[in-house]
Structure 1
Amino acid sequence: MTTTEHGEQRAARPAEPARTRPPFHRRHRSGLITTASIVVVLAFWEITGRRMNPIFSSYPSAIVRKFDVQVRSGLLPQALLDSLQPLLLGFCVAALIGIPVGLLIGRYRAADAALGVYVTAGYAMPLVALIPLFMLWFGLGFTVKVVIVVVMTVFPIVINTRAGVRAVPRALTEVGTSFMASELHIVRKIILPATVPHIMTGLRLGIGRAVIAIVIAEFFTAIGGLGGQIILAGQRFDTAGLFVPVTVLMVLGVGLTHLVGWLETKVAPWAGPADTDQD
């Protein structure tokens, strides 16, 4: 009981319980589940792979040994560098093209009527069929790889950016108009910030398309990079050597996707998923 200055007695408010930090297994639940899943898959693969003909399959320990050999010889680092350069350049060019085009066709109906059909057709069309034409135009070197990556990456970025612009509530743009904001200010201050989550989704999808595009480009054009290593290992029936660049490509795709996700938390922290303790 507590006494006020007027002599009245009131019940003391119970102290709020101190917030305790969740235990380790709850804070890192998703990471632990992912790690356990990977361990189980690798263990199963190791056991079954040892019982199969090495021409038809391999297993993780053999792939790790082959990975060490290729790294020591310098073959794998050079192949990774040869693939990364056109991949990153093509992805950046696709983003620089796709984001403004997506904003344009999402904001203005006339632009959508003029360009939207080409975006839809380009996304739906099997662009691999155009690679022989690109080879005639740009040769077999670095340039054609960049072009293939750009063409196969730009459409998801455009489509997701357009969807983000159309998802902006009309009330927000009307507020800007009512305060006599120019069209440029409405796009910069209202539409673009609200569209950032959709843009980042397009970039994440584009990363996956870019990794696929660089491998396809190296299959069809000059035999080099990680795609070239896959072809050479397949021709030698070196299954463990074939899985090395495939694994590197998988890790590269996952790593770049997480990098874009991290960038989203810096550019648009308000769009991050809520941290819940749901089971």
Structure 2
Amino acid sequence: MKLCRYGAPGEEKPGLIDADGNLRDLSPHVPDIAGNALSDEGLARLRGIDVNSLSIVQTKPRFGPCVGGTRKFMCIGLNYSDHAAETGADIPENPILFMKAISAIVGPNDDVVMPRGSTHTDWEVELGVVIGKPCKYVSEEDALDYVAGYCTINDVSERHFQAKISGQWTKGKSCDTFGPTGPWLVTRDEIEDVQNLDMWLDVNGKRMQTGNTNTMIFTVAQIISHLSQLFTLEPGDVISTGTPPGVGMGIKPEPVYLKEGDVMELEIAGLGKQRQTVKADA
């Protein structure tokens, strides 16, 4: 299934994308794409609905973030071998974890707003993993059983805030609008091999990033298992799993960063496309 949330910010309704690409209203059956709806039982109940009984949404509404109720937005840094190489970083021995504020989460086509003083705002197409049920001390072999589904994420980053203002990477990762998520949550049964998904990102129509999840240093299963040894993963929690090469900070001889009016477009195979216009905060 391709599940989504649509409508004005803070007023999103649950939806489903049918086989013909129509947006159908799920609100008579579930209050949100969140919580128990993400469990195996909740998803099975949604699969049992006759899709043709659902009303087609005739307008073209805004898509919101594809999952609600997120309490943790976790990100894995330097998780693609080719991206680590372009930044000159050593291959990490364990997954590098940093947190992104949940207030950064926006819809897949919402504007990305550079904060005041930003001069180094960068792009990062990433595979998002959404947890479907409580997850603690799980093995790699069982880890994917705890996934509700997958989505596209743009881990927008302000590199000066991230690296030059003393403190954690979170400073450059958590700015408002720096977490476009969606358009859809694609349930795990629809993804044959999560470690073989093509991805790309364009800026102003120019291809900047091209990659595949097969160059991840730590697989999705390894990441989930590792994090679950540290704390409980909960339904609706999101893990952004790292980015392939082609980010602005890695461009030679001089890095290239976003400016007002730039347009980012990005997609992961089977998970949907995003498009954001860059604005400067007033």
Shared fold (TM-score greater than 0.5)?
no
Highest RCO, 1 vs 2 (Cα 8 Å, sep ≥ 6) = 2
TM-score of Structure 1 vs Structure 2, range by shorter chain: under 0.3
Q: If the length of structure 1 is used for normalisation, what is the TM-score?
A: 0.22
Bigger radius of gyration: 1
Q: If the length of structure 2 is used for normalisation, what is the TM-score?
A: 0.22
